């Protein structure tokens, strides 16, 4: 098997991608406590919230208060989603470390999610990149639907690369390749990651996967094998875009961390405190979460053998 990097970084996006789609209104105090607990787990970045229109994403209308109140752990980069200049202004006011700008690579999803054409988004984000540059705030851009769009179907990799080049030329320090509704498959992921790394050698590449069709972990391995070192993931497999039909959760952070730990890859994330956070999620989002890893325990959480074995196999 082709080996990927020995060390990777995980960006925990549960507080943003996770909570943006939940029906339960999570209290501001609980959001702050969620982020603070995640800060103790070893993540490189935590996407705390989004500075989107409160009409578009009512669940995160308290973005500024959350960003102001979290306890900043040295070494952790606290990021937030920003769709426009208004969002940048709000994010800067409360000291967001890094901006995660967003647009889609497919036309219909961009219109549904951001109420703009892609060319309007490109112009808006170019202005955001300029203003953020003047303010000294680094910006990553998340390109949605790069592996397929729930409205338009397949998305041309040439089109993805055209947008990525424009955004990097305009000042983005990184590009996130987002599989918004779990349409990606491993060979496709490998091809696009290889192409993006080849064509954008100066940009930090991140992969953002959803497990809508059960392929997220396989896709993560495929990306890792091409040399990708940055992965978005959501604790408990929360997540989904409210403006993408059929959207469901991100790749589970705990499953991703556990898998890479088994493979000897250092993610920086400690599984026990993360599992504690995940156990608290059903209370936070007021619904049960199916979680095979919590149910089974980590791979080497072995069990006592049945008591009768000792008698059956006792010497003499």
42: left (phi over 0), alpha (psi -120 to 50) or beta: left
Q: Which tokens is 99 given?
A: 């901006």
Q: How many CB atoms lie within 10 A of CB 301?
A: 8
Distance CA 107, CA 16 (A): 23
Whether the CB-CB separation of 14 and 43 falls below 8 Å is answered with no
53 binds ligand COA (CB under 6 A): yes
Of 110-118, 153-161, 181-189, 227-235: span binding ligand COA (CB under 6 A) = 110-118
Whether the CB-CB separation of 150 and 133 falls below 8 Å is answered with no
241 binds ligand COA (CB under 6 A): yes
Whether the CB-CB separation of 262 and 298 falls below 8 Å is answered with no
Of 17-25, 53-61, 107-115, 294-302: span binding Zn ion (CB under 5 A) = 17-25
Nearest CB to Zn ion, comparing residues 127 and 289: 289
Shortest distance, position 227 Cβ to ligand COA, whole Å: 26
110 binds ligand COA (CB under 6 A): no
230-233 and 139-144 beta bridge pairing: unpaired
Of 108-116, 132-140, 151-159, 163-171: span binding ligand COA (CB under 6 A) = 108-116
Residue number closest to Zn ion, CB atom: 17
Catalytic pick among 149, 193, 241, 262: 241
12 binds Zn ion (CB under 5 A): no
Shortest distance, position 145 Cβ to Zn ion, whole Å: 10
Whether the CB-CB separation of 26 and 19 falls below 8 Å is answered with yes
Query: Pick from 90, 118, 210, 230: which binds ligand COA (CB under 6 A)?
Result: 90
- For residue 78, which phi and psi values (nearest 5 degrees)? -100, 115
84 binds ligand COA (CB under 6 A): yes
Residue 84 interacts, among ligand COA, Zn ion, none and using kind-specific CB cut-offs from 5 to 8 Å, with ligand COA
Q: Residue 207: which of 194, 199, 131 has the closest Cα? A: 194
How would you class 303 by CB atoms within 10 Å of its CB: exposed for 0-12, middle for 13-18, buried for 19 or more?
A: exposed
83 binds ligand COA (CB under 6 A): yes
The vertex-197 CA angle with 194 and 200, nearest 5°, equals 140
Shortest distance, position 294 Cβ to ligand COA, whole Å: 27
Q: List active site positions.
A: 241
Task: Please report, as ranges, the residues that interact with Zn ion according to CB under 5 A.
Answer: 17
Task: Please report, as ranges, the residues that interact with ligand COA according to CB under 6 A.
Answer: 20, 50-57, 81, 83-84, 86-87, 90, 102, 113-115, 144, 241, 243
């Amino acid at each position: 098997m082709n080996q990927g990097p020995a060390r990777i970084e995980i960006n925990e996006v549960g507080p943003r991608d996770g909570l943006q789609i939940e029906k339960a209104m999570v209290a501001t105090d609980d959001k702050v406590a969620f982020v603070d607990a995640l800060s103790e787990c070893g993540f490189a970045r935590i996407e705390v919230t989004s500075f989107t229109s409160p009409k578009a994403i009512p669940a995160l209308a308290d973005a500024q208060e959350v960003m102001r109140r979290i306890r900043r752990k040295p070494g952790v980069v606290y990021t937030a989603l920003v769709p426009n200049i208004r969002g940048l202004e709000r994010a800067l006011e409360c000291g967001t470390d890094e901006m995660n700008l967003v647009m889609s690579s497919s036309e219909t999803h961009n219109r549904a999610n951001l109420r703009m054409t892609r060319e309007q988004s490109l112009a808006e984000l170019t202005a955001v990149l300029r203003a953020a540059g003047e303010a000294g705030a680094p910006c990553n851009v998340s390109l949605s639907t790069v592996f397929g769009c729930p409205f338009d179907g397949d998305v041309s990799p040439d089109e993805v690369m055209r947008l990525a080049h424009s955004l990097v030329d305009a000042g983005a320090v990184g590009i996130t390749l987002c599989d918004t509704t779990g349409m990606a498959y491993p060979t496709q992921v490998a091809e696009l990651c290889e192409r993006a790394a080849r064509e954008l050698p100066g940009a930090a590449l991140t992969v953002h996967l959803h497990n809508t069709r059960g392929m997220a972990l396989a896709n993560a391995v495929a990306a890792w094998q091409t040399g990708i070192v940055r992965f978005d993931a959501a604790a408990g497999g929360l997540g989904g875009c409210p403006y993408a039909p059929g959207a469901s959760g991100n790749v589970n952070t705990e499953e991703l961390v556990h898998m890479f730990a088994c493979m000897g890859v250092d993610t920086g994330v400690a599984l026990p405190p993360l599992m504690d956070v995940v156990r608290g999620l059903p209370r936070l989002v007021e619904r049960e979460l199916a979680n095979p890893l919590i149910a089974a325990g980590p791979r080497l959480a072995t069990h006592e053998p049945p008591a009768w074995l000792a008698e059956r196999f006792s010497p003499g």
